Structure 1
Amino acid sequence: MSTSPDVIEEASPAPSATPLASATLGGEQKRSIEQITLLLFITVPFLALVAAVPLVWGWGVSWLDLGLLIFFYFLGCHGITIGFHRYFTHGSFKARRPLRIALAIAGSMAVEGPLVRWVADHRKHHRFSDAEGDPHSPWRFGETVPALMKGLWWAHIGWMFDEEQTPQDKYAPDLISDPAIRAVSRQFVLWTVTSLLLPPLVGGLVTMSWWGAFTAFFWGSLVRVALLHHVTWSINSICHAVGKRPFKSRDRSGNVWWLAVLSCGESWHNLHHADPTSARHGVMRGQIDSSARIIRWFEQLGWAHDVRWPSQSRIDSRRKASDSRGAERAADAA
C-alpha cells in the first residue's frame, strides 16, 4: 500500500518566492550577519545543556540518566525521520503491517503532535516550500536581518500556534482511511504519557529510589523531548536559511552538516527537497544518515520492501550544473 499519493508529493511548482538578496543566499557566502546569528541561535541552547551535565554530575545526573536520554532520543527521532517523514509522508518504502504500526507509535513518542496532522502539515510544506502557503518558511516576512530573525522564530516555533489548520482530508486521505493509523493518531495523548513515564519507571526500578525516578524523568523525559523538538524544528528553520546547495530545488533548502547526527540524517535537506521520495538523504561521501541505514536493515530483514534508493544517475540528474562538472572532474582525476 502506497503511503504518499503522487498527486500530493509531485505537485506542480508553487509560485516563486521573493527573489534572493545578495546578502541572504543562505550558505553561498562564507560570512554574513545572518549566518553568525543563525549559528548563535542553534548552538547556544545546546552548549548550555552540555555545560549543565558536568555541573550536576554526581548530584542530578548519572550514566543511567544519560543512557535513557540517548536511547529514547534516538527512538523518537528515528520514529519521526523514518516513520512520520520518509515512510508516511513521502512513501520512500513500503512496510509490513507490524512495522507500519511500530513506526506510527515510535514517531508519536517523539511528542511532536498526532501522526495525521504531522504528515498533512509536512506535505503542505513540500507543496509550497518557501513560497506563499508554506506553513513554516523562515522567509515568510522578508529578507532583511530583522525580518529573517522573525521568520526563524516563526519557522522554528511560532507557526505551531497559528490558527490556520492544514486540511487533513486533503493532504493525508490515505492515512485517514487506515483505521489502525487513524487510531494511533487519535491516541497521541496516550503515547505522550507513555513516552514521558517510561524513563522514570526504568530509573526508579534500577535504582530502587524516588530520586532515581526523578532524575530519569528530568533527563530522559523533559530534556530529551526538548532537545529532540529543537533539532526537529531546526530542520524547518536553520536548514531553510543556510547550508550548501549542490542539488536543484525550487526552494532554499540547504545541507547543514553539524546537525546530521542529532537529526538522524534529516539535515541533508537540499537533496531531500530535490528528490523528496528518496529513502536516503545523505547521498554524498561522508554524509551520515542513520535513518537510511536502519531502513536498509529493515529491507534486509524483509520488514520493508520497494525501497526508493537513489541511483547514481538519479542523483547526478538533480545536481546543479556547476556541481555536476566538479563531480565529473573528480571522477576523471580518480
Structure 2
Amino acid sequence: MTATSLPPESTVTAAPAPVRGTLGGDSQSLRERVALGFFIGVPFIALVAAVPVLWGWGLTWTDLIIAVVMYAISGHGITVGFHRLFTHSSFRAAKALRVVLAIAGSLAVQGPVIRWVADHRKHHRYSDRDGDPHSPWRYGETIPALVKGMWHAHIGWLFNVEQTNQQQYAPDLLKDRAIVRVSRAFPWLVLASLLLPAAVGGLVTWSWQGALTAFFWGSLVRVALLHHTTWSINSICHAVGSRPFRSRDRSGNVWWLAVLSMGESWHNLHHSDPTAARHGVLRGQIDSSARIIWVFEKLGWVRDVRWPSPERIAMKSA
C-alpha cells in the first residue's frame, strides 16, 4: 500500500467504527492536545537552553554518545521504518524487523506509527493542494501568508482537532496485529525513550548527575532536534530548495538538512518517485537511510527493494 495506490476518495464508502490503531482515533481530544504541547514545548525549551548549558558546563563524551546513538536509532526508525517501509512500501521486511522499526520510530516521540503513516499518505495524495495536512502554501503566496503557512506546516497542523482517517489511509496497518500493538503502546514507548538515556548515563557514570545530564542531552535535546528536523521537511523543503526532478508540488532539495534528516531532505526526488528506497540519488547526496536499507538487503533481512534505476532517474529529471 502506497500513497499513490490509495483509492480515490469518492470511492471510499462509510465504514463501521474504525479499528483504533492509535490514540484518539480520528479526532484529537483536549487532553491529547495538552500532552502534545507538553512533549513539544519541554524538549524545545531544553534545545534553546542547550547553548548556555554547553557554554557553562560543557558536554561529556558519555552524553554525546548517548544522544547521537538515540538520535540515530529513533531518527532512522522514522525515515527507514515509518516513512520508507510503512508509508511507501519501498521494500519488504521480515515481521521481526517490521516490529523493531516500528518501535524505533516510536522512540522519536512523533506520534503512534499508524497515525503517522495515515497523515503522510494523505500528504502525498494532496501535496501542496487543498487537503494537504501540512502545506506551507495553505494560506497563499504573499509573504504574510507564507509566514503563517510555514508555522502551520511546521507545528500548527499537529494540533488540528480533526485527524486523518486511519481506516481510509492506513487500512493495511490496521490489519497488522503486531503493528497495532506497537501503535497502542506509544505512551509506554515515549516513557522508555525519555528514561533510557538517563538510565544509561547513570549506570555509566554511577552518579545522579550523569543520569541528569544524559536525560538533558540524550532525551530532551535529542527529541527536540529530531522533532524540528523532521518538521522542517514539511515546512522548509516545501518552500525552498532545488527541484531537479518533475513533481506536481513544490517539494525541493535542501542540502544542509541532509545529514540531520538522514537523507529525507532530498525531498524533490521523493515526491517525484515516492516509492523509491533512495532519496539522495545524485552525486554527493548523502542518504544514510538508503545505506541502512542496503545493509539490511545484504543481510537478507529485507527484499523487493525499490531502488531507483538510472533510467528511471533520467525519466524523472526535469
Shorter chain as denominator, the TM-score bin is 0.7 to 0.9
Q: 1:274 to 1:306 in 2, by over 3 A?
A: same
Q: CA deviation at 1:54?
A: 4.0
Distance 2:275 2:100 in 1: 21
Q: CA deviation at 1:143?
A: 0.7
Distance 1:218 1:275 in 2: 38
Q: 1:220 to 1:116 in 2, by over 3 A?
A: same
Match of 1:153, SS?
helix
Give ranges in structure 2 of 5+ residues lacking alignment.
Answer: 11-44
Question: After superposition, what is the alpha-carbon deviation per residue over 1:166-223, rounded to whole angstroms, capped at 9, x for unaligned?
Answer: 1000000000001110010010001101111100000001111111101110110000
Q: Sequence identity, in percent?
A: 67
User: CA contact under 8 A between 2:46 and 2:216: conserved in structure 1?
Assistant: no
2:136 equivalent in structure 1: 138
Q: 1:244 to 1:53 in 2, by over 3 A?
A: farther
Q: 1:47 to 1:198 in 2, by over 3 A?
A: closer
1:286 equivalent in structure 2: 284
Question: After superposition, what is the alpha-carbon deviation per residue over 1:139-173, rounded to whole angstroms, capped at 9, x for unaligned?
Answer: 00111111101000000000000112110000000
Does residue 205 of the first structure (1) align with residue 203 of the second (2)? yes
Counterparts of 1:225-244 in structure 2, within 5 Å, are: 225-244=223-242
Amino acid at match of 2:123: H
User: CA contact under 8 A between 1:4 and 1:174: conserved in structure 2?
Assistant: no
Distance 1:9 1:243 in 2: 31
Q: CA deviation at 1:55?
A: 0.3
Q: 1:149 to 1:5 in 2, by over 3 A?
A: closer
Amino acid at match of 2:287: D
Distance 1:49 1:288 in 2: 30
User: CA contact under 8 A between 1:11 and 1:127: conserved in structure 2?
Assistant: no
Counterparts of 1:183-332 in structure 2, within 5 Å, are: 183-320=181-318
TM-score by length of 1: 0.82
Distance 2:8 2:307 in 1: 17
Among candidates 91, 95, 108, match of residue 89 of structure 2 = 91
Among candidates 64, 67, 70, match of residue 68 of structure 2 = 70
Q: 1:93 to 1:292 in 2, by over 3 A?
A: same
User: CA contact under 8 A between 1:9 and 1:123: conserved in structure 2?
Assistant: no
User: CA contact under 8 A between 2:75 and 2:226: conserved in structure 1?
Assistant: yes
Question: After superposition, what is the alpha-carbon deviation per residue over 1:26-77, rounded to whole angstroms, capped at 9, x for unaligned?
Answer: xxxxxxxxxxxxxxxxxxx99967744640344xx31111111111011111
Match of 1:123, SS?
helix
Amino acid at match of 1:158: G
Q: CA deviation at 1:5?
A: 7.3
2:55 equivalent in structure 1: 55
1:158 equivalent in structure 2: 156
Amino acid at match of 2:82: F
User: CA contact under 8 A between 1:9 and 1:126: conserved in structure 2?
Assistant: no
Question: After superposition, what is the alpha-carbon deviation per residue over 1:226-277, rounded to whole angstroms, capped at 9, x for unaligned?
Answer: 0000000000000000000010000000000000000000000000000000
Q: 1:53 to 1:149 in 2, by over 3 A?
A: same
RMSD (CA atoms): 2.0
Q: 1:203 to 1:50 in 2, by over 3 A?
A: closer
TM-score by length of 2: 0.86
Match of 2:6, SS?
helix
Does residue 128 of the first structure (1) align with residue 113 of the second (2)? no
Distance 1:182 1:246 in 2: 38
